[in-house]
């Protein structure tokens, strides 16, 4: 993550006056558009989440209410997006390349791929994030590196994906196990829900190691965990045979792979979001965090559980790199 000064971090625990006003404001009957942080929202009354009757304008205002919290997690990073132009009840599709599409608040960057140069969107401000909502984007997924330093990630993510017969308590235990292994390697980690049944364990880094080195390290950590308890954990992606196991997905650390952004909604009934938490907050079901409940939590909490994340970029030492390689091979 980009290092942020104290004045830039989400210090406020209450919504800004603008956010409070937006909670009371609604489009007049018959209106087909409105504005949020200066961004025109067309088809404002279009329903995005039919089960909760959440409209497009309400969806956009969710981002306005959590502006100070989401922008640090998304700014500077190339995006992969889930586009649901008619709401989640209609077909959605992944949007990777920007081409010439998107409001002017969004930045475009060109990145060398295997056989061509791809154009990606970057959202550096709340206006840009709300512009994504205007485009019909529901899910925001981010790279592990920034557009300024594509080849050297500034975080590593382990995505813990439980099989259908795995309980939430087992997922929590898996996340804590990953944390323990990382602690032995002298790395601090943070945790967030994914908006589904899984969690992400995240390590912020100084952008020193290459993508290949970060991928090798994350693979070795995952393999060491599987070797320690192959009955509970796996690195095999095939659904068959892992119904009672937690997949330790290290491939989120491949060069162009992404993970869902903190505070991003998911394109599924219930409007769940990816919620950063303290390690002591993992016990309750992640389904409680939605675009309706997340702003209330952020107004209520006195201390951001990820406040130190922005100041704690770490380096994978040569000793830790070698140690985990040995662990995964034994």
CATH number assigned to the domain comprising residue 67:
3.90.920.10
pLDDT value, residue 98: 78
**Average pLDDT in the 82-89 region?**
97
* Same domain membership, residue 291 and residue 230: yes
Same domain, 321 and 172: yes
What's residue 326's pLDDT? 83
5 domain residue, yes or no: no
C-alpha span between 263 and 274 (Å, rounded) = 5
Percent of the chain at pLDDT > 90 equals 81
| Boundary (domain end) residue, out of 114, 142, 170 | 142
317 shares its domain with 189: yes
Output DSSP code: residue 286.
Answer: G
Higher pLDDT, 25 or 72: 72
**Taking CA 10 as the corner, what is the angle to CA 9 and CA 15, rounded to the nearest 5 degrees?**
155
Q: Rounded to the nearest 5 degrees, what angle is found at the Cα of 129, between the Cα atoms of 149 and 293?
A: 120
Residue at which a domain ends, from 77, 111, 142: 142
Both tokens assigned to 271: 């409007």
Write the burial class of residue 247 (CB in 10 Å: 0-12 exposed, 13-18 middle, 19+ buried). buried
User: Given the DSSP bridges, would you call strands 47-49 and 117-122 parallel, antiparallel or unpaired?
Assistant: unpaired
Question: Is residue 205 a contact partner of residue 315, using CB atoms and an 8 Å limit?
Answer: yes
Q: Are residues 153 and 125 in the same domain?
A: no
What is the domain extent for residue 240? 148-330
Q: Would you state the pLDDT for residue 6?
A: 36
Quote the CA–CA distance of 119 and 111 in Å, as a whole number.
Answer: 6
Same domain, 193 and 325: yes
SS3 138: strand
Classify the C-alpha dihedral 49-51-55-60 as positive or negative.
negative
Domain match, 111 and 132 both: yes
Q: First CA to last CA across the chain, in angstroms?
A: 33
Residue indicated by tokens 């937690």? 246
Quote the number of domains for the chain: 2
The per-residue pLDDT for 100 is 59
Identify whether residues 328 and 181 lie together within a single domain.
yes
Tell whether 86 and 178 lie within a shared domain: no
Q: Are residues 170 and 34 in the same domain?
A: no
Half-sphere exposure of 297 (CA within 13 A, CB side): 18
- Of the pLDDT bands very low, low, confident and very high (cuts 50, 70, 90), residue 25 is very low
Q: Is the pLDDT of residue 8 over 70?
A: no
Tell whether 193 and 118 lie within a shared domain.
Answer: no
Nearest to 1 by CA among 105, 155, 195: 155
Q: Based on the domain organization, do 107 and 186 belong to the same domain?
A: no
The pLDDT, as a whole number, for residue 102 is 77
How confident is the model over 247-256, as pLDDT tens digits?
Answer: 999 999 999 9
The mean pLDDT value for 220-247 works out to 95
């Amino acid at each position: 993550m980009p290092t942020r000064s104290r004045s830039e971090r989400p210090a406020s625990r209450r919504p800004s006056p603008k956010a409070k006003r937006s909670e009371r404001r609604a489009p007049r009957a018959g209106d087909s558009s409105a504005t949020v942080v200066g961004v025109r929202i067309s088809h404002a009354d279009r329903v995005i989440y039919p089960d909760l009757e959440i409209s497009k304008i309400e969806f956009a205002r969710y981002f306005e209410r959590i502006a100070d919290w989401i922008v640090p997690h998304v700014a500077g990073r190339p995006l992969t997006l889930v586009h649901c132009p008619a709401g989640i009840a209609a077909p959605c599709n992944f949007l990777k390349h920007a081409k010439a599409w998107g409001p002017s608040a969004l930045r475009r960057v060109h990145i060398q791929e295997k056989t061509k140069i791809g154009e990606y969107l970057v959202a550096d401000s709340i206006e840009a994030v709300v512009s994504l909502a205007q485009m019909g984007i529901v899910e925001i997924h981010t790279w592990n590196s920034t557009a300024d330093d594509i080849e050297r990630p500034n975080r590593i993510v382990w995505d813990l994906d439980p099989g259908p017969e795995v309980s939430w308590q087992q997922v929590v235990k898996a996340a804590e196990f990953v944390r323990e292994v990382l602690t032995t390697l002298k790395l601090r980690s943070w945790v967030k829900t994914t908006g589904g049944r899984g969690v992400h364990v995240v390590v912020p880094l100084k952008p020193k190691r290459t993508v290949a080195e970060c991928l090798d390290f994350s693979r070795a950590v995952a393999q060491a965990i599987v070797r320690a308890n192959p009955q509970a954990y796996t690195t095999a992606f095939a659904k068959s045979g892992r119904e009672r196991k937690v997949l330790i997905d290290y491939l989120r650390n491949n060069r162009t792979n992404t993970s869902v952004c903190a505070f991003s909604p998911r394109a599924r009934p219930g409007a769940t979001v990816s919620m950063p938490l303290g390690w002591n907050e993992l016990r309750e079901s992640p389904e409680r965090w939605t675009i309706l409940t997340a702003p209330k939590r952020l107004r209520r909490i006195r201390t951001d559980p990820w406040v130190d994340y922005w100041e704690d970029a770490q380096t994978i030492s040569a000793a830790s790199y070698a140690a985990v390689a040995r662990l995964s091979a034994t």
